[in-house]
Amino acid sequence: MRVHSVDAIAIDIPLTKNFAGSTYAVRKRSTVITRLRTDHGLMSEVYNGDNRDGGQEIVRLIREELGPLIKGFDIFEGERIWSKLFALTFANRDRKTLLEAIACIDCAVWDIVGKAISRSVRDLLGGFTNKVPIISIGGYYIEDKTLADIGREMEAYRQAGMAGCKFKVGGLSPQADSQRVEAARKAAGPDFILAVDANRGWTADEAIHFARLVETLDIRWFEEPCHWYDDAVQMARVRARTQIPICAGQSEITSHGVRRLIDANAVDIVNYDASEGGGVTDWRRAAALCATAGVAMAHHEESQIAQHLMSAIPHGTYIECFADPERDPVWQRMWVNRPAIKDGMMSVSQGPGFGLELDVGMIAKYGVA
């Protein structure tokens, strides 16, 4: 069974307010839907990523460069397909966007292989469990948000069935953000998972100061504490000065970057994102590196993909979503057969491939390319 054609469409959905982190603003939800067809008439349909600026360029790359390059390839030659596409990164170009486009195709290949043999991607990867704990990303900086609002937000996540929250920090002083995290912990209670994410917002000294202020609050991990330009070295300093586990990896675009974090003794947990770093094929390599180094795995967002990856390994932690209905209409409404959340757990989709069914009306309404 061979690749006949590949197409893609970018999705942009405006949000009702700005969901701000320490270093960015979020005013729309974006993703790319990829459809790969075989010469036997089988079709995959997956969605990847949240590139709010480059969606149409990702679609162009898939349609004009990547898709034609793999036409006629056997769908069961995933490593050969991936290597053919990755060779394009050797030229001087925007590698981040290219690797996001490669991720779209690679995930579509895994999806079509699963559909061809009627097995889920979880099964193809070996399968370790059939359900995974899920936490919501939250704690965004929103205008006029109070500590009482933070408490109500944590309660809303509990009501939505979440096991915990990954809470945004790094946009204020360490003291001010520690007060926000303290309010979240007080409202959530001791049995609620609480991680913090600075999105590279602080210096190492600021991150160490913050970590000392919140160490008594049972923080599951401290994600991307330090500025981007020397993050591995700075994170290693922070890790040596706190008992809170350090997490990073979502900003890496290759498993080689994950190896850099491990070699620097910078991380306890890696949240490499298959939609940012070349797809399932390279994510497997990163997961193997972490397994041999005794480093746990998380996954940045993308629960439609991450549920299969995290359920296939013994050193996984949690998958992530946006439980606030206003933050992610794709997760809330476009993924129409999303498994139910109960008691902090999500069952892994059992359909072949990634097992996704998407709302065709939403795709027609919000498709931009």
Mean pLDDT of the chain, nearest integer:
97
Question: Does the pTM of the predicted model rise above 0.75?
Answer: yes
pLDDT digits (tens, 9 = 90+) for 245-268: 999 999 999 999 999 999 999 999
Average pLDDT of span 43-63: 97
Task: Locate all alpha helices (DSSP H) within 202-293, ordered by sequence.
Answer: 204-214, 231-240, 255-263, 280-293
Q: Is the pLDDT of residue 369 over 90?
A: no
Given this model, what pLDDT does residue 185 score? 98
353 φψ region: left (φ > 0), alpha (ψ -120 to 50), beta (else): left
pLDDT for res 75: 98
The string of pLDDT tens digits covering residues 300-352 is: 999 999 999 999 999 999 999 999 999 999 999 999 999 999 999 999 999 99
pLDDT per residue as tens digits for the range 177-216: 999 999 999 999 999 999 999 999 999 999 999 999 999 9
What band does 270 get if pLDDT is binned at 50, 70 and 90?
very high
CATH of span 123-347:
3.20.20.120
Q: Percentage of the chain surpassing pLDDT 90? A: 100
CA–CA separation, 366 and 369 (whole Å): 9
CA 349 – CA 51 distance, rounded (Å) = 25
Q: Give the pLDDT score at 54.
A: 95
Please report which residue ranges of the chain form alpha helices under DSSP H: 55-60, 67-70, 78-86, 95-117, 121-124, 147-159, 174-188, 204-214, 231-240, 255-263, 280-293, 303-310, 329, 360-366
Is 49's pLDDT higher than 90? Answer: yes
Task: Please give the CATH number for the structural domain made up of 3-118+358-366.
Answer: 3.30.390.10
61-87 b/e (C-beta count within 10 Å ≥ 16 → b): bbbeebbebbeeeebebbeebbeebbe
pLDDT per residue as tens digits for the range 212-244? 999 999 999 999 999 999 999 999 999 999 999
Q: Tell me what pLDDT residue 25 has.
A: 93
Predicted pLDDT at 131: 97
pLDDT in tens, 84-143: 999 999 999 999 999 999 999 999 999 999 999 999 999 999 999 999 999 999 999 999
- Split at pLDDT 50, 70, 90, the class of 51 is very high
| pLDDT for the residue numbered 366 | 98
- Beta-carbon contacts of residue 256 (< 8 Å; ≥ 6 apart): none
Residue 87, pLDDT score: 98
What pLDDT, in 10s, does the model give residues 64-74?
A: 999 999 999 99
**Domain-wise residue ranges, the chain:** 3-118+358-366, 123-347
